[in-house]
Amino acid sequence: MSDRDVTALLRFAEELADASRAILAGALAAAPKVEIKPDRSPVTALDQAVEERLRAMIELRYPTHGIRGEEFGTRNGGAEHLWVLDPIDGTGPFIAGIPVFGTLIGLARAGKPLAGVADHPVTRERWSGAAGQPSLRNGQPVRTRRDASLAVAMLSSSSPDFYAPAEWQRFRALRRQVSWAVYGGSCYAYMQLASGRIDLAVDCGMDVYDILPLVPIIEGAGGLVTDWAGRPVDLEWQGSVLAAGDPALHAQALAILGGQD
């Protein structure tokens, strides 16, 4: 696939993000109606409306591509190109009126992350990235922070509720080694990692649409994303995630999180 082809696909992903932002404009003005899905996670009508719109756009422009979305499952899952959609990542903060939520749009080719966009409608920030290209925030290049040691690192995690007890103990062992920790940032924290503001992002209980769209952005900014065993993210990935702005720092954190596997 040529650079021109990848650029065209990334441009279309930004069109999808434009459509999502239009739906979510002013979304914090009133509390949304919330339903609880069978897995006990919350969902709103806006989650569903965004995903329905993005699916319709993809099916019109790229009818042979597959789609995997948080709300409506997988269509044409065996396609070489498969779009991975999280219409509102950070539904809990969205419901609570905390503006760290965003729409995540990823594209996998042959099962591997190819391109991604993270759009944050309230802050009007958008990060984008694709394999072999530098990552951008609002059109300007971003880079992760390099040469950070654990002793001075800033660590983020979305919520302790996502950890099993043994996972939480390993996370706490890492927390004791770093300087600072922040919680509740959802996908926004991962994008601040891509921008050099956060050094490590660690989570458990994640699904592929939570992280695959972010991988090309973080890696295009100089970072690294794996699970706690050091395996790269692909369409079969699920569970733990370790993102780092510096590959050397990633290795140090991996030794703590994955050392008991």
- Dig out the tokens for 91 from the structure: 């539904």
Q: Which domains does the chain have, with CATH numbers?
A: 3-141 (3.30.540.10), 150-257 (3.40.190.80)
Indicate the pTM of the whole model.
Answer: 0.93
97 burial level (CB within 10 Å; 0-12, 13-18, 19+): middle
Pairing of strands 224-226, 180-183: unpaired
Q: Does 234 have pLDDT greater than 90? A: yes
The Cα 261–Cα 256 span in angstroms is: 10
C-alpha distances in Å from residue 226, one per residue of 104, 121, 233: 18, 27, 6
What is the percent of the chain where pLDDT is above 90? 77
Is 84 in contact with 100 (CB distance < 8 Å)? Answer: no
* For range 55-81, the mean pLDDT: 96
Residue whose structure tokens are 């939570």: 210
Task: Give the DSSP per-residue string, 94-120.
Answer: HHHT-TT-EEEEEEEETTEEEEEEEEE
Structure tokens at 7: 């650029």
Q: pLDDT tens digits, residue range 169-179?
A: 999 999 999 99
Residue 148 has pLDDT above 90, yes or no: no
Both tokens assigned to 221: 């900014």
- pLDDT tops 90 at residue 138: yes
Q: What token pair was written down for 14?
A: 């930004």
pLDDT value, residue 42: 59
Has residue 260 got a pLDDT over 50?
no
According to DSSP, residue 231 is labeled: P
* Cα separations in angstroms, 82 against 69, 79, 113: 10, 6, 10
User: What does the block give as tokens for 56?
Assistant: 């319709």
